[in-house]
Amino acid sequence: MPQELTVCGAPARVALSGGHDVVMPTLTRAEAAERASVVDVETYHVDLDVTADGDTFRSRAVVRFRAEAGAATFLEFEPVEIISISLNGTPVDPASVGDGRLSLTGLAASNELTVEAVMRYSIDGEGLHRYTDPADGNVYLYQHLFINNGGRVLPCFDQPDLKASWQVSVVAPEDWTVATNGMLVSRDGGRWEFAPTERISTYLASLIAGRYHVRTDEHDGIPLALYARAALAEHLDAEADEIFEITKQCLDRFHEMFEIRYPFGHYQQAFAPEFNFGAMEYPGLVVFRDEYIPRSVITESEREQRANVIAHEMAHMWFGDLVTMAWWDDLWLNESFAEYLGTRVASEATRFHGTWTTFAMHRKAWGLRADQRPSTHPVAPSEVTDTDAALLNFDGISYAKGAAVLKQLVAWLGDEAFLAGLNAHFEAHAYGNATLADLLSALSKASGRDLSGWAEVWLRRAQVNTLRTEVRTDGANYAEVAVVQTAPADYPTLRPHRVGLGLFDKGADGTVVRRRQLEVELDASGRTVITELAGEPAAALLLLNDGDLTYAKIRLDDASAAAVPLLLPLIDDSLARAVIWAATLDAVVDGERPVAELVTLVLAALPMETEVVIVEDVLRATRGLVDRYATAETRPAALELVAQATDRLLAASPAGSSGQLAAARGLIGATAEVSRLRGWLAGESVPAGLVVDADLRWLLHYRLAVLGASGQEAIDAELDSDRSASGEQWAARCRAALPEPAAKDAAWNAVVADGSLSNRLAELTAAGFWQPEQLGLLAGYVERYFAEMPEMMRVRKGMSAERAAMAAYPDVAVSEQTRRLAAELLEQPGLSPILRRVVQDADDDMRRALAARG
């Protein structure tokens, strides 16, 4: 590491080479435990100067902490250039910085570390991300230190159990707006001073800066604010009333549930460009990806999703921010609870009462898929060895499975005992850290039940059970109904379940009615006879898990499965329909039902579906299954049937409705009718009420590009008329989708080798690359993925690398050759843990696709 030191006792100024290539080392749990035994952090005072042009900024940090006298420790730190370092007034040798860490020795009982340095902006969504808006040239910043990126902004003790108060100052261009976790104390021109925060973990410290458009409000004594890029000002203004209303409704509901009121002063929500997550729960300043401020017409289900995310992040103010996990093995204490409470509170407090339908249809399917892959893990694993492993656990298990398990726990304990336990937990650990054992203790005390056995089978053991109904009739009545529970051979755990059973019949007037609904307890024996149904008249459809109380794979008895195509469209309970659709899709994924049968059901039932989220999710899942499970010979006919289903739904949907928009999007994605797509772009034969706005125009261009009916010139012309962040991203995806050798080569090289390409553009370029219609052209890139993706993992890091690797995987190149190449890559030593997981899971999906084709 070359050093250039000034002389005569002046502050050491050290330039560090290879600023783009320095990799933050992973922090092991053992290191974190050792450091926490030595150090108690008190405060961070951070002063940032972001006025200079270019790719760097100035950072000055004063870190106050207590320690064992004479001990040694380290802080995460990744500077481009060191200006000065001092500990308790004594200069520290710049050589103490290396491999992403600042090492300190000879600590006092009370310490003050002062560091001035030049740091680098990021374009991967981590550290301090810098974005230039193509619409107007404005620059925007947001800080995202998660999981171990704190050292990219300042030296810090970057682990969740070393909480501290943060006080931030920022010098920015005078026409910028700056916001942080803390409340604004003063502003003098371009200098912004913020109040100290409560004690928070390093990964929760954030800020935004730039020419943000601001809307403010207040509710119940809590100042509220919304921020979005200047180019989105009119769109934020159009959405502000709804966002504020949902925010207020959710705050009120959480205050009804929890005895500790919202604990972080103001409640600000910023919508930032190129944000990797959907949102992040920074206390006092929640940050969302700015796609949640739509510039085009969106469906009601998309508005519901935004409401759910608002409620999810607000739940984190208690679960994650007020009480924080001690280490990443208890990630579920953050995400499972926020997923469960977000869904619940959005349903109870806002106009979106169907969030549990969305959960059953969409979120739980995410959990089930993750839980059956090679990378499966317990909801609460007993060991997460380091921060690299922690990043991999941000998946459908930690979110959706954990939330489904909590829904089951509430059904078992009762809501009163559940909330009493949560409130006791908050009271005991406010502004500190807690573990699984701490929470279970509080819930057990409140409910009077020992939860250790429940936690062992539901939280500590991986994989999912399958529940099947077995029915024997005696004439027109049930002689015996039993629920059989099975588990995979490698994960043989059987679990107790509280599950609903619904009996549906077709009435004389043609409607379908639920004649009876009952809840039963399934033990872990493997077969439970439902004695309550003996002698009951047999139903046309017996729905297992009616009400979606438990987390399991559901399989209907043969007679009920046969009745689904006739009865499904006539059931008036959207949650029941979601449970049936989810079970059907899951059976196709497992190869128990052919994809042709699914397509036939889509044609029969989807045109009558009124719940938009069901339409959207069925079309998304069916399209993915058709692309991978159907053969090259059968896929065109299957896709044509999906197009017919969407066309019928389009005709049946009211003008201007969400259903109409969902049907139009589905039709565009499935049809091969080029003249119709071009006509809609030209404004010809567009269904009444359907608005062909900017994003729908791009979707039309994208499908035409895939079909080889558009070209670079048309994409460039559309981009010229839509010089926006969304336009730039859509254009990147469309270019990658063009069936032209030069376009494919440029897109591939951009993803694999272009380190200047931002996180979002890399992800969307990769997402447009693989198309089932173009397999002949793309054959050579299958081998290139496995040969070149390890190098991409050195160009991109963290979540940006994971997203690009997943999007670029040749999942539509379904063949044993693809699997062989995957196996060869997985045998390589030193493979990135992120890439290893991506390939293992994608290869398992391909195993299923090959089995289904067979």
Q: Is residue 689 part of a domain?
A: no
- 727-736: burial string, b at 16+ Cβ within 10 Å, e else: bbbbbbbbbb
The pLDDT assigned to 854 comes to: 85
Instruction: Report if residue 804 sits inside a domain.
Output: no
* Pairwise CA distance, residues 171 & 801, whole Å: 32
Q: How many domains does the chain have?
A: 1
Handedness of CA 128, 133, 139, 140 (dihedral sign): negative
Q: Render pLDDT for 834-851 as a digit per residue (tens, 0 to 9).
A: 999 999 999 999 999 999
Distances (CA, A) of 676 to 89, 668, 709, 730: 73, 9, 12, 21
**Is 852 inside a domain boundary?**
no
From the list 649, 670, 668, 671, the residue with the least C-alpha distance to 660 is: 649
Give domain status of residue 408, yes or no. no
pLDDT bin (cut points 50, 70, 90) of residue 24 is: low
148 located within any domain: yes
Query: What pLDDT band is residue 17 in, cutting at 50, 70 and 90?
Result: very low
Mean pLDDT score across all residues of the chain: 95
Interatomic CA distance for residues 785 and 802, integer angstroms: 14
pLDDT level of residue 510 (50, 70, 90 thresholds): confident
Region 364-384: mean pLDDT is 95
Q: What is the pLDDT of residue 798?
A: 87
Percent of the chain with pLDDT over 90: 95
506 within 8 A of 512, measured Cβ to Cβ: yes
Q: pLDDT exceeding 70 applies to what percent of the chain? A: 97
Clarify whether 313 is annotated catalytic.
yes
Q: Which of the four pLDDT bands, split at 50, 70 and 90, describes residue 22?
A: very low
Q: Give me the domain span that covers residue 13.
A: 1-210
Q: How many beta carbons lie within 10 A of that of residue 84, not counting itself?
A: 18
What average pLDDT does range 303-321 have in this prediction?
98
Rounded to an integer, the average pLDDT of 401-413 is: 93
Q: Residue 143 pLDDT more than 90? A: yes
pTM: predicted TM-score of the whole model, two decimal places: 0.95
Q: Which pLDDT belongs to residue 611?
A: 96
Indicate whether 320 pLDDT > 60: yes
Of the pLDDT bands very low, low, confident and very high (cuts 50, 70, 90), residue 386 is very high
Say if 649 falls within a structural domain. Answer: no
Q: What is the pLDDT of residues 695-752, one digit of tens each?
A: 999 999 999 999 999 999 999 999 999 999 999 999 999 999 999 999 999 999 999 9
Q: Tens digit of pLDDT for each residue in 236-250?
A: 999 999 999 999 999
β-pairing, 101-104 with 73-76?
antiparallel
The predicted-structure confidence for 675-700, as pLDDT tens digits, reads as follows: 999 999 999 999 999 999 999 999 99
Q: How distant, in Å, are the alpha carbons of 261, 671, 689, 707 from that of 674?
A: 56, 8, 22, 8
Give the pLDDT score at 10.
32
Q: Each residue of 633-684: pLDDT tens digit?
A: 999 999 999 999 999 999 999 999 999 999 999 999 999 999 999 999 999 9
Quickly list H helices, 671-724.
674-681, 694-706, 712-720
Looking at residue 7, its pLDDT comes to 24
* 141 found inside a domain: yes
Q: Spot the catalytic one: 313, 609, 616, 718.
A: 313
Query: CA–CA distance from 532 to each of 515, 520, 728 (Å)?
Result: 14, 9, 60
Residue 240 lies in a domain: no
Residue 51's CATH number: 2.60.40.1730
For position 23, what pLDDT does the model report? 53
Q: Model confidence over 79-111: pLDDT tens digits?
A: 999 999 999 999 999 999 999 999 999 999 999
Mean pLDDT, residues 133-148 taken together = 96
